[in-house]
Amino acid sequence: MKDGFIRVAAVSPALRVADCAQNAQNIIHAMREYAEKDVQLLVFPELCLTGYTCGDLFLQATLLRGALAALHAVVDASAELDMVVVVGLPARVDGELYNCAALISGGKLLGLVPKRYLPNYAEFYEMRHFTPAPAQPWRRTALEDGTPIIFGAAMLFSCHAASAAETPQPGAQVFTLGVEVCEDLWAPVPPSCAHALAGATVIVNLSASDETVGKAEYRRELVRGQSARLLCAYVYADAGHGESTTDMTFSGHDLIAENGAILAESAPFGAGAAVTEIDVDRLMQERMRNTTFAADGKLAASYFVSDFALAQKSLALTRAVSPAPFVPRDAAERTARCELILRIQAEGLARRMEHTNAKCGVLGISGGLDSCLALLVAVRACEVLGRPASDITAITMPCFGTTRRTRSNAELLCEALGVRFLEIDITATVRQHFVDIGQDAETYDVTFENAQARVRTLELMDYANRTGGFVIGTGDLSELALGWATYNGDHMSMYGVNAGVPKTLVRHIVRTVADSTANEALSRVLLDILDTPVSPELLPADGAENNAQQTEKLVGPYELHDFFLYYVLRYGFAPRKIYRLAKVAFAGKYDDDTLLAWLKNFYKRFFAQQFKRSCLPDGPKVGSVTLSPRGDWRMPSDASAALWLAELEQLFP
């Protein structure tokens, strides 16, 4: 459970209908197998000790005694294992027969949770045999053999971090488990809703969902949706091979979801096991941030909470960690997202142009990625308004570092898009400015660089004033995070269309346009812009027209900084955990020292540059991670990074 990760599994073992002893042995074998794989939460299907398809055999005392004996065998086997196990069985409690989930850990039966909603339609006849969970939330009672139990639907199971032999200690809670059984999830208000409001962060579902056409997709969306709605992890174990096929088939479709994402899944009629790590810290962060998710103290007071302890383990993560968390992996989804972002940007800009009655939009075009995207957005905004693309004026402002390639691409892009193109050479203005402030024109320092950026912004602002337009900003989210912008230079505009778009996504948006446009000239120039190294072009190029500056060599790879940014802002993860995730995501591409060096660099720049973000111009939010000082990110401009850097120094001096 180090860094909040715990390995969980949903397993559908082979079974023999009504052979409780054999089923128990299959389950015990699986327990030992998955314990060796460091699984600490293991969930089996509904009625797995008997089989779901026993029919009227559920009313036979022999089967019920067999199920009880099988339960004790599983409980005894758990004593040697560091895991909590959830199995399904029929249990007679106080004279009534219930479809139950048994929670087991450390050689103890922690509790018995009865199914609340019994299907009694189509192929299901559970009310013929079972009684729904009683209205009483929970009670202390005993099984037929005298074994004392806690029984009820309002039960939670609290995991504490400890060695397997230790008694759980208050304050060391790792996660809280809630249980529902199959049809409970299909109900209009599933029991898991109350479990989550009472404190459960992980929900398990023991199921015997038969397979019919289209049901797998529906089942998947139910699990995914419930995990998103409750900001929880959801572990779903489904009945599989061995159930009777008299009237139904069961596919062992096991699923593990976390906050709306399927982390692991067994294909129907496949291996019958889903294994991955869930991130409990991430779930707690989500709940802390989400003010509509309010814990219900009164409801929680009606629950019985059973404690158990699990050892802390440092797991080699098997769950996927995307190196590009802002960018969907699926090509179709990625294209759809890029198109949606373009629409959001264009609609935002169109509304601002309409509101200000701007005669034109003005932007600086460099031949680089960010200004390219801003220009694409500006043209689309004109389409929204029913105005010609020529209402946009793109100004290139060559100076000491401008190369022929970027200058040419800027002009070709404007020609392909049909916007008005203007060149203002700022070299003489900058040289005069150097004279005014006493700057040596041969000293290539920060003044040399920033003076050019500020003069460019001055030209844009004043040209916009003269023509009745306003300046469209081009800087992206990644540059804002790192402060890679000149204060009151390219940092400033009248509307920043790219302010919510990270650099890794800028590239994909431009690529999407290049791949989808019917304009061959536009596609060619966009592809060449994508192939051009990112550079501010503020230092003189060499004789071969090579950029003297490449941004990623100066501030670090944007793919790393976007990765860091995502986990810092979206989940508030600690540096130690972000470093660990980065090692998984970028394994084989960056060594540990490189990752650590750029992570330290990120924190230093992120904290030091907040003053630039505190006075940002307006711009549209496009995703869950933004840095607008009026919206999602409000931070003092003089906050210290000491705690974050100290954590990295302590772990990796």
Which pLDDT value is given to residue 170?
44
Q: Residue 184 carries which side chain, given as an amino acid letter? A: D
Residue 182 known to be catalytic: yes
Confidence band, pLDDT 50/70/90 cuts, at residue 536: low
Q: What is the pLDDT of residues 358-398, one digit of tens each?
A: 999 999 999 899 999 999 999 999 999 999 999 999 999 99
> Cα 594 to chain center, whole Å?
24
Q: Residue 313 catalytic?
A: no
- Note the pLDDT of residue 168: 45
Which pLDDT score, from 0 to 100, does residue 533 have? 81
Residue 542 in this model has a pLDDT that exceeds 80? no
Q: How far apart are CA 195 and CA 198, in angstroms?
A: 5
Q: At what angle do helices 427-437 and 446-467 cross, to 10 degrees?
A: 120
Distance CA 104, CA 83 (A): 8
Given 20, 100, 115, 159, which residue is catalytic?
A: 115
pLDDT at 171: 44
pLDDT of residue 164: 42
Residue in 182, 232, 399, 414 annotated catalytic: 182
The token duo for 289 is 């941030």
Q: Does residue 78 carry a pLDDT above 90? A: yes
Nearest-angstrom CA–CA distance, 223 and 234: 7
Question: 């459960």: which residue's tokens?
Answer: 200
- pLDDT average, residue stretch 515-544: 84
Active site residue 115: yes
- Indicate the average pLDDT of the chain: 93
Neighbour-count burial for 485-501, b at 16+ CB within 10 Å, e otherwise: bbeebbbbbbbbbbbbb
**Cα separation, 109 vs 74, whole angstroms:** 10
Question: SS3 for 496?
Answer: strand
Main-chain dihedrals φ then ψ at residue 38, nearest 5 degrees: 65, 20
| Model confidence at 463: pLDDT above 90 | yes
Q: What is the mean pLDDT of residues 165-186?
A: 77
Q: What is the DSSP letter of 29?
A: H
Give the full edge-to-edge strand order of the sheet including 155-161: 261-265, 255-258, 233-238, 202-207, 173-181, 155-161, 304-310
> What is the C-alpha separation between 4 and 61, in angstroms, rounded?
44
Residue 543 predicted with pLDDT over 70 = no
Query: Can you give the pLDDT at residue 165?
Result: 43
Q: Please name the residue that has the structure tokens 């850990």.
A: 105
- Model pLDDT for residues 569-612, shown as the tens digit of each residue: 999 999 999 999 999 999 999 999 999 999 999 999 999 999 99
DSSP 387-436: --GGGEEEEE---TT--HHHHHHHHHHHHHHT-EEEE---HHHHHHHHHH
pLDDT for the residue numbered 548? 56
Residues facing residue 273 across a β-bridge: 11
Checking if the pLDDT of 271 tops 90, the result is no
* pLDDT for residue 3: 87
Q: Which two tokens stand for residue 240?
A: 């599989």
Write down the pLDDT at residue 632. Answer: 85
pLDDT (0 to 100) of residue 163: 54
**What letter does residue 168 receive in the DSSP assignment?**
P
Which residue has better confidence, 33 or 624?
Answer: 33
pTM higher than the cut 0.95? no
> Which stretches of 10-94 are DSSP H helices?
20-35, 61-78
Q: Once rounded to an integer, what is the mean pLDDT over residues 606-625? A: 95
| 35-47 pLDDT per residue, tens | 999 999 999 999 9
Could you report the per-residue pLDDT of 427-436, keeping only the tens digit for each?
Answer: 999 999 999 9
- The catalytic position among 20, 46, 232, 612 is 46
Q: What is the per-residue pLDDT across 8-21, written as a single tens digit (0 to 9) for each? A: 999 999 999 999 99
**Mind listing the domains of the chain with CATH numbers?**
2-310 (3.60.110.10), 331-556 (3.40.50.620)
Please compute the mean of the pLDDT values over residues 627-636 and round it to a whole number. 92
